[in-house]
């Protein structure tokens, strides 16, 4: 991780994406097509939720890089992005096209750790979700289901938990608390 400040474009979207997480975005507005064009020279862009207070000193985002792009059946650009790291956002400005940019610094996060401890129930149920969802399965060709941090991270992204609850797992809560929440939800469904 680097501690230097980088200026990157912001894609405002209410999505929760932790390091290693992948999602598909549909891009059609001119300013965001510009953002995609800038992405290769700037090293990506930031996805940041509108549910955060714009003046909040703890405002964060997911620094993503484009890993695949294509046109959808309707001709709209579809890009698959993967979260490289979480970042703290400060000093946001808009350019002439109303594309927002922010100065960002990387945040170390528990989801970037590696472990081989066992989470059989969570791993197997996550694999089942992938197998039953072709798009999701295709987005993740390398499923790290033996890494509990990766498994809990993907579950946090996928579960229909309010954003403000998920947001607690960025700054205030630990991996163990996230694992406990995910376990309690998944075990109720089984």
pLDDT above 80 for 133: yes
* CA proximity to 157, closest of 82, 56, 55: 82
pLDDT band at 2 (very low <50, low <70, confident <90, very high): low
pLDDT score, position 56: 58
CB distance 8 to 104 below 8 Å:
yes
More confident residue, 1 or 105: 105
Please, is 50 exposed, middle or buried when counting C-beta atoms within 10 Å of its C-beta (0-12, 13-18, 19+)? exposed
Lowest mean pLDDT among 52-61, 64-73, 99-108, 148-157: 52-61
pLDDT at residue 153 above 90? yes
Beta strands in 13-117 (DSSP E): 22-27, 45-48, 60-71, 77-94, 100-107
As a whole number, mean pLDDT of residues 5-33 equals 95
What's the mean per-residue pLDDT of the chain?
90
Over residues 152-170, the mean pLDDT reads 92
Task: Evaluate if residue 173 carries a pLDDT over 80.
Answer: no
Q: What percent of the chain has pLDDT over 70?
A: 92
Q: pLDDT tens digits, residue range 35-82? A: 999 998 999 999 998 766 555 567 899 999 999 999 988 999 999 999
In 3-state terms, what secondary structure has residue 76? coil
Banded pLDDT at 112 (limits 50, 70, 90): confident
């Amino acid at each position: 991780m680097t501690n230097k400040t980088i200026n990157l474009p912001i894609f405002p979207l209410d999505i929760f994406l932790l390091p290693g997480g992948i999602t598909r975005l549909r891009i059609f507005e001119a300013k965001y097509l510009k953002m995609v064009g800038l992405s290769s020279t700037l090293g990506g862009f930031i996805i940041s939720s509108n549910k955060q207070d714009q003046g909040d000193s703890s405002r964060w985002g997911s620094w993503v890089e484009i890993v695949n792009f294509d046109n959808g059946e309707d001709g709209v650009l579809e890009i698959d992005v993967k979260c490289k790291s979480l970042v703290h956002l400060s000093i946001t400005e808009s350019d002439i096209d109303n594309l927002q940019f922010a100065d960002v610094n990387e945040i170390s996060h528990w989801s970037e750790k590696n472990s081989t401890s066992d989470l059989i129930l969570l791993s197997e149920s996550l694999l089942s979700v992938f197998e039953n969802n072709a798009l999701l399965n295709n987005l993740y060709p390398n499923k790290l289901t033996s890494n509990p941090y990766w498994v809990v991270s993907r579950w946090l992204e996928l579960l229909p938990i309010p954003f403000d609850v998920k947001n607690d797992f960025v700054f205030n809560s630990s991996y163990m608390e996230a694992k406990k929440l995910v376990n309690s939800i998944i075990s109720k469904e089984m």
